Structure 1
Amino acid sequence: SDLPFTPFPLVNTIIATGDNADPLSQTFSDTVFAIEKPFVPTTTTLDISWKVQTDSFTVSGTDTTWFAEEDETYSYNITVRNTGTLTATNVLLRDVLPDSVLNAGDTLSFAIGDLLPSASETVTVNPTVVSDLPFAPFPLVNTIITTGDNADPLSQTFSDTVFAIEKPFVPTTTTLDISWKVQTDSFTVSGTDTTWFAEEDETYSYEITIRNTGTLTATNVQLRDILPDSVLNAGDTLSFAIGDLLPSASSTISVNPTVVSDLPFAPFPLVNTIIATGDNADPLTQTFTDTVFAIEKPFGPTDIIVITTVSTDTFIVDNGDTTWFAFPGDSVCFKITVRNNGPEIASNVILTNFLPDSLFGATFGSGDTLVFNFGNMPAPSDTTVEFCAVVADSLPFYPYPLDNDVILIADNGGPVTASDTVYALEPPPVLTDISVTQFVETDSFTVENSDTTWYVARGETFTYRLKVTNERDVIAEDVVLVDYFPPILSIISGSINPPFGVLNGDSIKWDLGDFSPNETRILSFDATVPTNMPQGENLLTNRVVVQATNQDPLTLANNFAEFSVLNIVPPFREGCEFFTLDFNVFEPQNGLPLGINFELEYSREATLELLDISGYRVTTLYREVFDPGINRREWDGTTENGLQVGSGTYIVTLKTFDSKLICWKKVIIRR
């Protein structure tokens, strides 16, 4: 039963022998071929087929794709067929329902029983797609399993797919569209936009069209028109019952409002608000607005005039005619009267004022144009405009005409023109008062009855200071100062301040330029007293004069100044036998007195005094009768009144009462 291969030769060998056979052994062979036993089946095969039926499908070549909508119940047939030669016994069919159908995931079982060879059995299934797919298209995969006791294989599986899709939108509402068409006598067009105007008392018309732009019949359509302000019956609502409107059907309403005669302002927007409703409209309420602009009714011709007057501080009158003048910086005032003599209201009255060059105001400049809009002026009526301006500081020539021109115009009157002229005159010269004072700085002075006398010593250098002041609130032009100093003095040129002063012989000249209003400047220079000044009192007088090109001739008294200092050279005599001081530099704070030593031939009355460098007596040290021979006196650095003598250069003198002997020594006191 288990051939090594087939056909397998079965060779029989037969041998015959006999004692007296010839040959003794006779051999014979023959063959039978062994073949495999014919197959007798013990199992059968099952085949599954699937046929679906939906309302929607697509075909691509030989492939069909099936679709089922949400909530749709579709059907399919499952056929199991015995394709074997034996009867299939105890056949069972199971259908695993897909997700997203009702009873999703359940398994339907069908007991088919026995199936003869080539016999088949068909089962019909009717699943329903759920209404809320997780996504779409969603694959509904059916898995079908068949089993049989003698099926080979024991379990046969088959799957196929229907794609679940969303249910198409079925509208339950419709849409309403409102259009508006107006008709007035006046309008403007800008590109594709039209602006409509209606005058006061004008009746204009417009049509309102309501159209059903949806796919369902619009039911119980209502149209309301809210009338705008400033028409008769302003604010009222007009209601229109349209009823039902078939798809694409429309209904038109005509309205004829009248503009009131007294608009609050113009142009006044007449805004129509139109509201459409329907039981199944989406949205339930549809609103539309559009606007007509109400304008004033044009007025008939009227008579308008303009009257201009001007005023300045300077004018002349000749035979009843007035000519007006103004100086630079003066104020010029204009008064303009606009009058409507009637008989109609003057509409949109505008006054335009063309200012002349070289006039300036707080809110306008030279050559500006001023525009005044008076709106509507009843008849008769007038109104006035007043304004002032200032003449420029500088003008091209004199007299310079300042022409002020006006134009008056209204929608139903004019134009009317008027003009006024003011002549700008050359300004009178502006005068100033320039003054000069002077003072010096020296180390010595005396005061008597509020008069101060200043002293200088031989060889001393001191400072002259000159104060120049513009006493008025105007510019002092081209100021010149000349200082005539005593010819005996030596001037230190490097000390002249400002340095552009010119030293010329016995004078110094400064060209100081312009002085601002109330400006003050200080000038100075240093002078040195010669060492060979003659004995006695030498009065050194300095004279200065200042002048401006616009100097007021009535105030020349303060343009000149004199100042004197006094140089005193004592008539010292030679002949003292002996006269010395302990110190050339005396420092009283060190506690040592200043020793004064001198020798007299005989006893005589004399005075020891302390003079400053100018020869002024500071204090008397001793006044007595001194012994003949060597005398010594000491001084502690104070005056007769106990006051300390300050630092400086001083002269200690010895003088007899008959003035026949005067001796002196210089000492420097340093504190």
Structure 2
Amino acid sequence: NYTLQLVNLGPKVAENVQLVDLLPDPVVQVAFGGLPPRKVQGDSLIWTFDSILPGDSLKISFTALFPDTIELQMPFFEILNFALVQAEFDTNLTNNLSQAKIFIRRVTKNYDLELAKNVQPDTVRQGDVFTYDLLLTNHGPRTASNFILKEALPPLIKVLQFQGKPPDVVQQDSLFWKFDSLSQGDSLRIRFQARVPEDQELTADLISLVNVAVVSATRDTLLTNNLASAIVFIRKLTRNYDLEVKKSASMDTVLQGNPVTYSLQIINHGPRPANQITLRDNLPGRLQVSNFTLNPDQVSQEAIIWNFDHLAAGDSLLIAYDGVVKEPLGQRFLSLQNTAVISAARDTNDVNNSTTVVVTVMQPADFCITLDRNVFEPEKGQPLQVTFELAAGRRVRLDVYDITGYRITTLADGTFHAGPNIVLWDGSTQSGQKVGSGVYLITFRSEGLVCWKKVILVR
């Protein structure tokens, strides 16, 4: 508390008096007793008076504060405070300046925060959940305020969920909690669960992860108990089964609009049961699916997904469904590539986890054979030319039948290459005898596909 006393020693009335009090930095005024200043200018408090009678005196008091947020380097700090009075006809200036000295004692930090930490269990298998427990206690004697708790996360750890206050700030490798206050004698607890993911590659069969937490507060009296750590040991996950997926199609070539049946087989070669299995069958564009022998968990235009909890060692699972392309192809044929992938965290062998099937969809109008003429006259010496085009190399059979359905001859029965192929008929039977005039059918067969064309033979 500062007190200023201004006295007019006479013998005449003092007029236009100004009193200035210079506040030392960083002192700030808090409250005034009685007469507030006419003006506050920077660090100066200014009072003005029109007149003061001879023998009269004025007393002014105000309360000031040295902020406790300022760090002092010494136990005591000296502050000088000056006040100055000015008047135009003052006859004696030697008593117009006055000062007051005050010593500021450094604030003693007045609470003790202690941080304790543990993890349970302290040894786990990769993929298993463990829990960190943080306990923060204020040993007093006063309330702790505005403090921060920081948790430094070790690499590889994935945080799952929190019990109690969630962190205010989450960074890739750190968690931060901010607290306004904690009363003397009180404690607060924070728990959170974490794990090391199963798909994380570990460099050793057993690794240790050190996890450090620290609490920081301005007035903590003891810093040695502000840091705590916990160690968890992670056993490397041993992969212990081999899953294989196989896929096939009921035919490798199908006419547009006709269904093809896809079959998927999952096999667990062991030696242990497989758990948490996902089978994903990636669908090619335009393919519409239906008639599942086992309903999938998810179906979209891009994929079919099945999830399985368990498959015992040595067991297998078969799934089938139909696929069809109903939309016009816009081209002579369309190649549908369909890949199935199986995944599980502990699979020992990844090379047999995917399989691909290719089915060729033919446009009906362009699928069948073509003849170089509708009327065939063998006597002119030019054989009948039968042309067909394949999207991929495969087995083809061409036969000639008469109008009664009797097979006259087989023109071809073997494997042909992809692209256009040509087979000739000279108008004779299988034994080489010439056939008579009439209507004959040239038939094409290949892996379930059949078509035919009619030709008139004239002799």
- Name the TM-score, length of structure 1 as normaliser: 0.29
Give the number of the structure whose alpha-carbon radius of gyration is greater.
1
Quick one: higher RCO (CA 8 Å, sep 6+), 1 or 2? Answer: 2
